[in-house]
Amino acid sequence: MRQLDHHAEAVRDFNRFYTTRIGALGDSYVDSDFSLTEVRVLYELAHRDDPAASEIAAALSLDPGYLSRMLASFRKRGLIVARPDEKDRRHSRLRLTATGRRAFAPLDQRARDAVVGLLEPLGAGERARMLDAMSTIRRTLVGTDAAEPVTLREHKPGDIGWIVHRHGALYAEEYGYDERFEALVAGIVARFVQKLDRKRERCWIAERAGQIVGTIFVVAKSKTTAQLRLLLVEPSARGLGLGARLVDEVVRFSRDAGYKRIDLWTQSELTAARRLYEAAGFKRIATKRHRMFGKPTIAESWRLELRPTR
């Protein structure tokens, strides 16, 4: 409980810091005649297609009575008009008037300018880290829409370090592997970058909502044998079929590159990955007990014989 209290105070401290930086603590918003809440309601009215009051209340988590009084004030000031909903005459649809749009436009521009003022002194890397942190907060608190598409791309600078870090952190958390596993991953990706043959080797990075959620590699083991390496799917993206999609990419690429087979090396306790390999047609060909990662486990070698496409 003491730790939770400490975390709550840290969140409150950040809220005080951020609201001060954006000028949201005063009685008015950016030196206007409107409060911050009124500006947020005007924003919803400006960016929605004739919304009902209930839609705005739900979007902003506002008390309906409080919102109703605010909207009555807007109508009195000529900022909005209301018309009956054609599908449900008990409700009204709201729209900004020309006066309302003229009142909102400078507020929107000043808010935009204020944010630009915050970002402008920062370097590109600092801005990227800040936006990434904001995205992380949002995903953590409300989750990511399951319909958000996952895209695949080749690696770029910065990805390799992320791959090493996430393998080390995730496998320590989920399987208890020590830093020797992270060192193994670092060696694999270092050799991949230093000796990359783009016609016969590839790294895929899976992204969702601008965040990396998965990776997989295929490297040349010999002239005729490819090796699948470093399959990882973030917990937030599991259950979407991403693992199978990544494995399928390796199989397709390896066949097109002229390999006759694909080998891989995994651990017996990685049951989800093993199911993916089995579903793709891989067969286990050898096992060996070891303690390479600080605990006893069983290494497994798997192989897929590739048949040429006709």
d(CA 182, CA 294): 12
Give percent of the chain above pLDDT 90.
Answer: 53
d(CA 240, CA 207): 13
List the one residue out of 297, 301, 299, 276 whose CA is nearest residue 286.
301
d(CA 301, CA 295): 19
Distances 153 to 123, 129, 201, 235, 304 between C-alpha atoms, Å: 25, 21, 14, 20, 24
pTM (two decimals): 0.57
Show Cβ contacts of residue 40 under 8 Å, excluding neighbours closer than 6 positions.
Answer: 60
Show Cβ contacts of residue 84 under 8 Å, excluding neighbours closer than 6 positions.
Answer: 91, 92, 93
Show Cβ contacts of residue 287 under 8 Å, excluding neighbours closer than 6 positions.
Answer: 268, 298, 299, 300, 301
SS3 category, 196: coil
What number is the average pLDDT over the span 95-113?
Answer: 87
Give percent of the chain above pLDDT 70.
Answer: 88
- Residue 31 confidence (pLDDT): 61
Q: What would the DSSP string read from start to end of 44-84?
A: HHHHSSS-BHHHHHHHHT--HHHHHHHHHHHHHTTSEEEEE
Q: Which residue has the higher pLDDT, 2 or 190?
A: 190
Domains, the chain, in order of start with CATH, read 2-121 (1.10.10.10), 150-305 (3.40.630.30)
What number is the average pLDDT over the span 120-137?
Answer: 75
Q: Which residue has the tokens 């929605």?
A: 48
pLDDT tens profile 181-235: 999 999 999 999 999 999 999 999 999 888 899 999 999 999 999 999 999 999 9
Least confident span in 20-29, 91-100, 268-277, 281-290: 20-29
Asked whether residue 57 carries a pLDDT value surpassing 70, the answer given is yes
Least confident span in 89-93, 283-287, 288-292: 89-93
Q: Which amino acid is at 85?
A: D
Asked whether residue 293 carries a pLDDT value surpassing 90, the answer given is yes
